[in-house]
Structure 1
Amino acid sequence: MNWFRLHFVENEGMAWGWKMGGDWGKVALTLFRLVAVIAGVFIIRDFIRKKYHAGFIYCSALIFAGALGNLIDSMFYGLIFNDSDPYMQNIAQFMPKGGGYASFLHGKVVDMLYFPIITNTHYPSWFPFWGGEEFEFFRPVFNIADASISIGVIAILIFQNKFFKKHDEQLHTTTSEIKIDDKVQVVE
């Protein structure tokens, strides 16, 4: 299969490996993920109580599950694996004798899914900024948690009219009733 490959990439940061300033940036990113996951529990519970569309709840759960997966990696991966160096052909070992490569909250997130669907092509020379450079679709390496987040967000964007129709109708009905009551009070 030329369009799918498994890679082993330890991502030190966020999407596409973006980093936030050293050790403190890594802790800040992990704590942000922790706050987002805790908030996600209460937000999804609220969606269920308010009887939001089931599809929206499922999409929200996909986003939550992906965030939780990346959080678990960044909290514990550094504690239970040693550091790997892909250039030296050594892959991280589980539970090494000397301990992991990082302390709590300092772990990397492992990405492994790579889909180079379109390769060996170039941008046209007249194309702004990247003219003549190699073009590859889909270049990023990602994990199942990232895919879960992406699928949840994309599905919400695609089906937003269906997901939020009921709540919009309730809002308009409530607004209309209030306006009618106000007019009745003014007439009396």
Structure 2
Amino acid sequence: MQMRKYIAVFAISAIIAHIAFVAFLPKLIMVFYFYTTTSAGYEENKIYHAPPINSSQRTVVLPSPNLLYSFCIYDVSEGPLLIEAKVPENTYWSVSFYDSFTNNFFTINDRQVKGMAKILLVKEGTEVKTDAIVVRAKDEHGFVLFRTFIPDKALIPQLDALRQRWKCEPTKTYLFD
């Protein structure tokens, strides 16, 4: 009888630990990510471009050597964020938005937008009038990840020059007064 009590206590403890782990691990991952990126000098609401991936470089988790990565740590607590990016032609390109729990809440790619991508990231509930694609974030903090496929290594300088013109910055222009 005593053994059943121990087994029951162990089972209940294991279930509680599992639920806590699953519920809070994504948030802990993002807290660690924000801590390491900001302590490394990365600022919020500014775009950064990782160099082409090789075996010794891992700015992004599980990176692909066939992709160029850019990222922006966002904070929309003070206002919206305008993201502008010229979409490269004849190659895969995407931009994905992640909240502070690592949930992907919006993605767009080169099949959905051509030419210049203009995306306005706002807090949920914010009214806007804009010709840009409006993305509503439930969290004030998160990150934006850009991916560009490298079809040929000789195109890296051209693709890199293109992404150097991309923007991820605060704006007031598109809000109602």
- So what's the TM-score if we normalise by structure 1? 0.22
- So what's the TM-score if we normalise by structure 2? 0.23
Structure with a larger share of its residues in strand: 2
